[in-house]
Amino acid sequence: MKLTRRRKCSDFTNPKPTCYTKEDLLAFSSDWNSEHPENKIKNPKSLTKQNLWIELRKRHKTIHEDLWPKKTRKTKKTSKSFAPKVPNEWNKNPNSWLSDADISRAMRRYEKKFPKFHFLEPAPIDFDTKDNYGRCAYSNLCNYSYSDLAKKYNSFAAIFNTDPHDKSGQHWIAFFVNLKKGEISYFDSVADPPPKEVKNLINRFAKEGQAYLKNKTIKINYNKTRHQLGNTECGVYCLAFVHHMLINGNFDSFTQERIPDEKIVKLRAYFFDDVNGVYDSI
């Protein structure tokens, strides 16, 4: 049987030997024993997690353990055990532009790791548009307020496309708010100023934040260093920015010195589980 590098876990913990819990493995062994009485796993409850995983791996003829639920029980719980795989399009073009779905899948790991962090689904630049009934037309962001977010979360991030909802997409930009500290950070990998729609949002959040934090001065950051020189990595730059703000929190340490495209390309294999990928520090 071909043994391959084990999958990365969705919560960044990567416990050995697997992202599955002992309970998950017991459920898989129960399914296996029911369907294969001639080749049962004996006394699975008495086995350690390591040995139970080994027994299951011997019996399943799949290359990767994340395929086990497809042969037995497929549940939402087990399907969320692993980091998102690289999109299929990357097999043909490793530098494919990130889609809305790609960004959402990558950010869900951070919401799992940081329960007090909230990420808005990728939004078009006309996110603030409302329909004739006063409802958000293209993004729930039009109803978000600083105070409502701060009552539930410590930090909030959004990634926008500079195209409106009815266009194919042009460029990704990011917005991060430290709700407790009163700091709003805007990031564009090519260092352009924010579009007027995002500028209005920043001003609104700054005003609301100042009121919520009882007249505390809200700090607003804009990056002035151009990082991206190519035309494919803006989405990955945005993911790296949000990661940095959650882990490090220092805006200047990410934006002052240029991070070249070549380094960011390698981080694709950090955010998405590339079975044959090369990992780089972040």
User: Can you give the pTM of this predicted structure?
Assistant: 0.84
Q: What is the pLDDT of residue 277?
A: 45
For the chain, the first-to-last Cα distance in angstroms comes to: 33
For each of the domains in the chain, give its residue range(s) and CATH number, in order of start: 22-79 (no CATH), 88-271 (3.40.395.10)
Q: What is the pLDDT of residue 1?
A: 33
Nearest to 236 by CA among 211, 260, 203: 260
Contact (CB, 8 A) for 254 and 244: yes
Q: What is the pLDDT of residue 279?
A: 39
Nearest to 228 by CA among 194, 263, 193, 195: 263
Secondary structure (H, E, C), the chain: CCCCCCCCECCCCCCCCCCCCHHHHHHHHHHHHHHCHHHCCCCHHHCCHHHHHHHHHHHCCCCCHHHHHHHCCCCHHHHCCECCECCHHHHCCCCCCCCHHHHHHHHHHHHHHCCCEEECCCEECCCCCECCCCCECCCHHHHCCHHHHHCCCCEEEEEEECCCCCCCCCCEEEEEEECCCCEEEEECCCCCCCCHHHHHHHHHHHHHHHHHCCCCCCEEEECCCCCCCCCCCHHHHHHHHHHHHHHCCCHHHHHCCCCCHHHHHHCHHHHCECCCCCCCCC
Q: What is the pLDDT of residue 73?
A: 56
Rounded Cα–Cα distance for residues 91 and 255 (Å): 31
Contact (CB, 8 A) for 241 and 159: no
| pLDDT per residue of the chain (282 residues) written in tens, 0 to 9 | 344 456 788 888 777 888 889 999 999 899 899 989 999 999 999 999 999 998 998 888 765 777 777 655 555 556 678 888 888 888 888 889 999 999 999 999 999 899 999 999 899 999 999 888 888 888 889 889 999 999 999 999 999 999 989 888 899 999 999 999 999 999 999 999 999 999 999 999 999 999 999 988 999 999 999 999 999 999 999 999 999 999 999 999 999 899 999 999 989 988 988 655 443 433
Parallel, antiparallel or unpaired: strands 123-124 and 172-178 = unpaired
Q: How many Cβ atoms from other residues are within 10 Å of residue 19's Cβ?
A: 22
Q: Which amino acid is at 69?
A: P
Q: What is the pLDDT of residue 146?
A: 97
Nearest to 109 by CA among 270, 237, 235, 276: 270
Our measurement of the distance from residue 147's CA atom to the centroid of its chain's CA atoms, rounded to an integer in Å, reads 24
Q: What is the pLDDT of residue 222?
A: 97
Nearest to 55 by CA among 80, 33, 73, 23: 33
